[in-house]
Amino acid sequence: ELVTMQRLLNVSPSTEIKFELLAGTTLERILRLHNKTDLPVAFKVKTTAPKRYCVRPNCSVIKGGDSIEVKIVMQPLKEIPENPNDWKDKFLIQAGQLSEDQDVDLVGDPKSLFDSLPKTKLCDQKLMCTFDVHSEGAGGLHRGDMGASPKVERDHDHKTLDPVPRSTPGEGVGGTSRKGGGDSSSHERELEEKLNLERRRAEKLAQEVEASRERERGLKQAHADETDKNKDLVRSLETLQARFENLQAKSQQATAKEGARGEASHAVAAQGSAMNFTTFLCAVIVVFLSIIVYRLFALPQGLVLPPQPPQ
């Protein structure tokens, strides 16, 4: 059996959501959903312009016979466009009935309940967004148009459906002076809203300037820290260079001493070799002379020398 939105929920408003645009002002509208059934119904609200609107709650569960209010917040506009209805913004409400065995009180995540529903059991309803531009000349017309929508009081965290105060026809002398006073009050409120917007912008700029100054101080401190670190590194490098030069000088001195010792050793060795050779030569000469002396003066007795031939 095909389930329709008309059987599950009563949606109010049912076809369109109307906004009266005002620069620098957050606009709020209330979407009321009433569960017509005895079983809980899970729903989700989607929009074609998620950056322009904020929906709270965008997903929830409505118990049987209960109702819920969905707050639709339009972000402040810097300026009013010429043709805001060209935006063609839309909202889509999707809903599905939960089974009897699902205990809504024990489940803390409505999104999980909604995602558990089969797509074949979901029904939807679309709402268009329409826009009126708040102006000085057309203020009475716009307030008259908005008069069709009832002004409802809500909790302390909600604003009224119609953010622009309306004048009641027929009040005052002839009704004309009261209407003019209402236009003046609306103009003063518009100026006050613009003044508040400018103040918020000035406060935001002051905060940004202070944040920039804080970042600048942080960057200066970081630069000073890096400069100190670089100075420490330069001093360390200079110390290492001095130690290296000292070690190099000591190495050269040690090499020179070793060279001098080597030359002295060679000289001593050469001198010793010369002395040994001279001693050996002298010994040989002494032995030779001793032999000659011995042969001359130590002849045996009775040995006669041969006669000399006559001259």
- Matching residue, tokens 């268009």: 128
pLDDT at position 105 is 58
Q: Are 185 and 165 in contact (CB under 8 A)?
A: yes
Dihedral in degrees, nearest 10, Cα atoms 49, 55, 58, 62: -140
Regions of the chain short of the pLDDT cut 50: 136-182
| Backbone dihedral angles phi then psi of residue 292, each to the nearest 5 degrees | -65, -45
**Crossing angle for the helix pair 139-146 and 176-297, to the nearest 10 degrees:** 90
pTM assigned to the model: 0.44
pLDDT at position 294 is 78
Assign 73 to helix, strand or coil.
strand
**What's the one-letter identity of residue 241?**
Q
Structural tokens at position 277 = 């050779």
- Non-local CB neighbours of 77 within 8 Å, separated by 6+ positions: 21, 22, 23, 24
Tell me the CA distances in angstroms from 263 to 22, 258, 270, 277, one per residue in order.
106, 9, 11, 21
**Phi-psi sector, 301: left (phi>0), alpha (psi -120 to 50), beta:** beta
Number of C-alpha atoms within 13 angstroms, CB side, residue 304? 3
Q: How far apart (Å, rounded) are the C-alpha atoms in residues 126 and 91?
A: 6
**Could you report the per-residue pLDDT of 205-223, keeping only the tens digit for each?**
888 888 888 888 888 888 8
